[in-house]
């Protein structure tokens, strides 16, 4: 029996008596706690770590720490169930002799967050390894699997831009819950194109930090990350039929998504505003909140997408009234294991706009064959 109760802010919404309300409450608690750990690490990044974007250590500590905390909350919420979690990190590097110092650093960080935020007893290094190893599930079409990216947008995290803690719940092949913790995202509308760096610079201010959440059939919502249990707002995509006013979003990193291809698709579709480039699934949140009208992602052909990079964002967009497909128009299938095999790329937008962008993408693809 899941012990989490629906927060007070859900009272007037369809969430309060929704089928997976207690699981969603646990997911929100898990993502909020993991986001606090990430914020703590990001605020402590030294000048040299910020400057050297290839130094993986701070983001590695936060990645492992966030994964262990999410597993800790989910397991505590329902100790009677064996947790199945498909998550990005594994313990191999930590249990190797060379990982001893890193494991000690992660355990110390987790314990300081647990003591301050939960008043919980400290975990041992063994506990931490065990929690991280819970993320090794293969997922699949049957039963319940949690899907976690502990830090999506690792380059944004180190670059002091946008990143997100992303947690979805897959039930018999369908993603039924999604939660995104976005510590650097302003609560007000975002319209600039600096990759979110300006917002990250103000990350301690009260109006920065968002929690997006969705329950299949009960809507998509946003709350301030710091007070998500007391405040909630239903969100929906902005159906912009005038493509001249539509803004599209794509990856900040051009190696993750082909910027020249999306520029050609935008031109073909009649989109004239410049793109909004941001790291991570924050983009799905912005689409769901109506800050921008289109999301496009076209990775190199050899790249294989993973389910944790899209599961939470996808259900949030769909519950906000949007449509998410691959480049041939098929819905994303999260039930095939850890990988998300899809055709060409991802397009997300309100239904009418989606059709126009899909047609434009297919025309541009056709012209390049």
Ligand X SMILES: Nc1ncnc2c1ncn2[C@@H]1O[C@H](COP(=O)(O)O)[C@@H](OP(=O)(O)O)[C@H]1O
The contact set with ligand X (CB under 6 A) reads: 149, 152-154, 251, 253, 255-256, 279-280, 299-300, 303, 306, 309
Q: Which does 35 bind (CB under 5 to 8 A by kind): Mg ion, ligand X, none?
A: none
In whole angstroms, give the CA distance from residue 36 to residue 110.
10
Q: Which is nearer to Mg ion, 178 or 290 (CB)?
A: 178
The maximal CA–CA distance of the chain, rounded, in angstroms, is 61
Q: Which does 300 bind (CB under 5 to 8 A by kind): Mg ion, ligand X, none?
A: ligand X
Q: Which does 184 bind (CB under 5 to 8 A by kind): Mg ion, ligand X, none?
A: none
In whole angstroms, give the CA distance from residue 34 to residue 186.
19
User: 149 among the known binding-site residues?
Assistant: yes
The residue sitting closest to ligand X, measured at its beta carbon, is 251
- Residue span binding Mg ion (CB under 5 A) among the ranges 100-108, 143-151, 246-254, 328-336: 143-151
Q: Which does 256 bind (CB under 5 to 8 A by kind): Mg ion, ligand X, none?
A: ligand X
DSSP code per residue over 156-218: HHHTTS--EEEEEEEETTEEEEEEEEEEEEESS-----STTHHHHHTTTSTTEEEEEEEETTT
Q: For residue 161, what are the contacts with CB-CB under 8 A and spacing of at least 6?
A: 153, 155, 184, 195, 196, 197, 200, 252, 278, 279
13 included as an active-site residue: no
Q: Give the chain's end-to-end CA distance (angstroms, integer).
A: 54
User: 55 among the known binding-site residues?
Assistant: no
User: 174 among the known binding-site residues?
Assistant: no
Q: Which is nearer to Mg ion, 89 or 149 (CB)?
A: 149
47 included as an active-site residue: no
User: 88 among the known binding-site residues?
Assistant: yes
- Residue span binding Mg ion (CB under 5 A) among the ranges 42-50, 198-206, 308-316, 324-332: 308-316
Residue 309 near Mg ion by CB under 5 A: yes
- Name the catalytic one among 32, 63, 258, 291: 63
Q: What are phi and psi of 350, to 5 degrees?
A: -60, 150
307 and 339 in contact (C-beta within 8 Å)?
yes
Going from the C-alpha of 178 to that of each of 35, 139, 279, 314, the distances in angstroms are 15, 16, 18, 8
Residue 149 near Mg ion by CB under 5 A: yes
Q: Which is nearer to ligand X, 215 or 283 (CB)?
A: 283
Across the beta sheet with 276-278, the strand order is 276-278, 248-251, 294-297, 346-349, 323-326
28 and 159 in contact (C-beta within 8 Å)?
no
The residue sitting closest to Mg ion, measured at its beta carbon, is 152
Q: Which is nearer to ligand X, 52 or 116 (CB)?
A: 52
Q: Render the burial of 209-237: b for 16+ CB within 10 Å, e for the rest.
A: bbbbbbbbebbbbbbbbbebbebbeebeb
Q: What are phi and psi of 270, to 5 degrees?
A: 85, 20
Residue 63 near Mg ion by CB under 5 A: no
Name the minimum Å distance from CB 217 to ligand X: 27
- Residue span binding Mg ion (CB under 5 A) among the ranges 147-155, 169-177, 194-202, 250-258: 147-155
Name the minimum Å distance from CB 309 to Mg ion: 4
Instruction: Tell me the two tokens of residue 243.
Output: 């493509």
Name the minimum Å distance from CB 250 to ligand X: 8
Q: Is the dihedral of CA 302, 366, 239, 250 positive or negative?
A: positive
Q: Which is nearer to Mg ion, 69 or 269 (CB)?
A: 69
Q: Which is nearer to ligand X, 306 or 336 (CB)?
A: 306
User: 242 among the known binding-site residues?
Assistant: no
- Name the catalytic one among 32, 107, 154, 262: 154
Q: Which residues contribute to the site for Mg ion (CB under 5 A)?
A: 149, 152, 309
Output the known binding site.
88, 149, 151-152, 309
Which are the catalytic amino acids?
63, 154
Output the known binding site for Mg(2+).
88, 149, 151-152, 309
């Amino acid at each position: 029996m899941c012990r989490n109760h629906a927060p007070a802010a859900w009272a007037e919404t369809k969430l309060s008596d929704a089928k997976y309300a207690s699981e969603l409450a646990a997911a929100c608690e898990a993502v909020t706690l993991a986001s606090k750990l990430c914020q703590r690490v990001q605020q402590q990044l030294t000048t040299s770590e910020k400057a050297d974007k290839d130094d993986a250590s701070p983001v590695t500590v936060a990645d492992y720490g966030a994964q262990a905390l999410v597993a800790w909350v989910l397991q505590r919420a329902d100790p009677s169930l064996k947790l199945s979690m498909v998550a990005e990190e594994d313990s191999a590097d930590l249990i190797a002799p060379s990982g001893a110092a890193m494991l000690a650093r992660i355990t110390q960080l987790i314990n300081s967050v647990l003591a301050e935020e939960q008043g919980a007893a400290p975990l041992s290094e063994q506990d931490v390894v065990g929690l991280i190893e819970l993320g090794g599930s293969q997922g699949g079409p049957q039963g319940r699997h949690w899907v976690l990216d502990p830090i999506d947008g690792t380059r944004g995290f180190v670059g002091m831009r946008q990143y997100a803690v992303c947690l979805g719940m897959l039930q018999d092949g369908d993603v039924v819950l999604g939660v995104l913790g976005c510590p650097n995202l302003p609560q007000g509308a975002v319209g600039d194109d600096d990759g979110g760096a300006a917002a990250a610079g103000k990350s301690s201010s009260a109006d920065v930090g968002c929690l997006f959440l969705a329950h299949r059939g009960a809507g998509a919502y946003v709350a301030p990350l710091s007070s998500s249990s007391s405040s909630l707002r239903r969100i929906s995509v902005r159906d912009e039929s005038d493509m001249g006013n539509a803004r599209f979003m794509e990856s900040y990193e051009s190696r993750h998504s082909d910027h020249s291809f999306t520029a050609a698709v935008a031109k073909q579709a009649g989109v004239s505003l410049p793109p909004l480039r941001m790291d991570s699934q924050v983009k799905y949140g912005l689409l769901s909140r109506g800050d921008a009208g289109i999301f496009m992602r076209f990775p190199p052909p050899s790249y294989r997408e993973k389910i944790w990079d899209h599961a939470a964002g996808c259900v949030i967009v769909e519950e906000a009234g949007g449509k998410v497909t691959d480049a041939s128009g098929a819905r994303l299938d999260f039930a095939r294991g850890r990988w998300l095999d899809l055709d060409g790329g991802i397009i997300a937008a309100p239904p009418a706009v989606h059709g126009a962008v899909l047609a434009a993408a297919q025309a541009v693809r056709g012209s390049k064959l």
